[in-house]
Amino acid sequence: MESPTVSDILALPELNSGHPEIVAGNLGLVRQVRWVHVSELRDIAHLLSGGELLLTTGIALDTSGAALAHYVESLAAVGAAGLVLEAGRRLQTVPQPMRQAADRAELPLVLLRREIKFVKVTEEAHSFIINAQLAALRASQEIHETFTELAVEGASATDIVRRAAQMANRPVLLSGRGRQVLAFETGDFDSASTLTSWREVADGIPVSGRTRFIAGSPGWLVTPVGARGEIWALLAMLEPTSDPSLRNRSILDRAAVGLVLNRLVERDRETLEMQAQRSFLADLVAGGETTAVLDARATALGLAADGQEFLAGCVRPIQKPQESAEESEASVRDLGHRVSAAVRAAGVRCLVGPSSGSTVLLVAGIPQGSDPLPRMARLAQAIHKAVTVNGDADVLITFGSMVSSLREVRRSLREAEQVMHSLREPSPKPFYQLPDVRVRGLLHLLREDPRLEMFCERELGPLLAADRRSKGELMPTLRAVLDHAGNKASAAASLGLSRPTLYTRLARIETILNVDLDSVESRLSLQVALMAMDEATRGL
């Protein structure tokens, strides 16, 4: 219950026995009364702090019209709830200037026709006010405990919205930043008209950190849902009056806090799960655990080892943004959360953990003897959908080969990493495996082999040395010819050269390298050397 109004206080037995007559300021009868005060001072206003219902006999009042009007105006200026004047001591009726001032200020002005005990009025009124405040406090505590318990117990957003609607007996809905309705409960109200009413006002609602009333037909009481300066959604309650009750405001505010707690608890739970999975994957890569220990830990994390084969994968943004170390860690953590959500949506048993850089690792369990491709496709589709939901850049997804035990997952993971690092300007495929990178994948795998380094030096060393001594135009020319499969016209066009200029450069290249560029074998050998050099310089 909220604080009592002027009307509530006038209905108390002692005041009511004085036959109260509301002579002016009827519109202010809904004002809330914080306290009842008795005073005969004509300059009492500066001693009040607002919300008081003033009782007086008027015995000390100046009866001039201007003075009486000023007396009422001064009470209204400090926020008094109303004025109760007992007739007989000084005034038999309320003078017109006094009435007019009360009407202008919408300050309830009440005339008592019979003498009453003011002390009895204050006893009754203060008992009433204190009881109302205690009831309001109990109601607030009940609301607080209800929504805190719902959040901690893991109630869904739909459950929280439904409980708020039931407690307020009003439609309540949860709207996303894009104004899409994420959850709603209308109770006995018509759902279609309620949602239509929301759509009529939703686009004009500013996203801010305070509860506000939004006018409409009917209006809406709206509060933000968010934390740490970030607003995730809006929680709204259908509100036909422009002055929502304190109870409904409290229900909406506490429901919003419940939604925030729910999200934070869920995020903490996921973070702990991801930390455990990340630790397990790190130990899996390190290879120090026995098969029995790995199987036991995987089973404890929800990835049963019995009757399963395993498949490792990597997920990485296509375009890695320029970020600080903290921003990069936050980005890969966020990517890990999205991949985890996608794994659950795809229904694939999988462990997920952020790795070094911007890569997220995953290990999926596949029932023995089943075809892994459908599961890879379903998992990749769910991941792409999860990471692009807010218009973010898409990701590369790579998988290694199927292995029969957790101890062999290292090999599958290395393959997935090899494919990831070997991709250059990938085609728009949902996921990639070793066959997709072909010879480039092999060269990436052998990039640190000294024999491959000797091959590159033998094939390209003289040309690199010549470029260092001149304008550095021969290597780009060779690369263009090889990229265009020996088509000199296409190569010249890509370089913006005339054909005679290109022919001159090619002749120099053939002389320096002692090769025939019209030979398919020569071009193949040089192409492999170029690819190997690229892989060696790219590293990890």
Q: CATH assignment of 6-128?
A: 3.40.1390.20
Q: Which helix (H) or strand (E) covers residue 219, if one does? A: strand 219-227
Is the model's pLDDT at 1 over the cut of 60? no
Taking 70 as the threshold, does the pLDDT of residue 356 lie above it?
no
pLDDT surpasses 50 at 104: yes
Q: Is 272 exposed, middle or buried (0-12, 13-18, 19+ CB in 10 A)?
A: exposed
Yes or no: is domain 154-264 CATH 3.90.1150.10?
A: no
Q: Are strands 395-399 and 308-317 parallel, antiparallel or unpaired?
A: antiparallel
Residue with tokens 């080969």: 401
Confidence at 540, pLDDT banded by 50, 70, 90: very low
Residue 272 has pLDDT above 60, yes or no: no
Cα distances (angstroms) measured from residue 510 to each of 172, 173, 523:
78, 74, 11
- Delimit the domains of the chain by residue range: 6-128, 154-264, 287-436, 450-538
More confident residue, 74 or 456: 74
In this structure, of 110-124, 182-196, 381-395, the range with the lowest mean pLDDT score is 381-395
- DSSP 8-state secondary structure symbol assigned to residue 5: B
Q: Whole-structure pTM over 0.75, yes or no?
A: no
- Concatenated DSSP letters of 327-376: HHHHHHHHHHHHHHHHHHHHT--EEEEE-STT-EEEEEEEETTS-HHHHH
Confidence class for position 110, pLDDT limits 50, 70, 90: very high
Vertex 347: Cα angle to 341 and 351 (nearest 5): 60
Provide the percentage of residues in the chain whose pLDDT is more than 70.
89
Average pLDDT, the chain: 82
Under a CB-based contact definition with an 8 Å cutoff, are residues 117 and 87 in contact?
A: no
What does the pLDDT look like over 128-149, one tens digit per residue? 888 887 777 777 777 777 777 7
CA distance readout (Å), 332 to 285, 317, 406, 444:
19, 9, 24, 24
Least confident of 19-28, 267-276, 379-388: 267-276
The CATH number of the structural domain formed by 287-436 is 3.30.70.270
Report which listed range, 224-233, 277-286, 494-503, is most confident. Answer: 494-503
Closest CA to 166 of 178, 150, 182: 150
pLDDT greater than 50 at residue 525 = yes
State what percent of residues in the chain have pLDDT above 90: 12
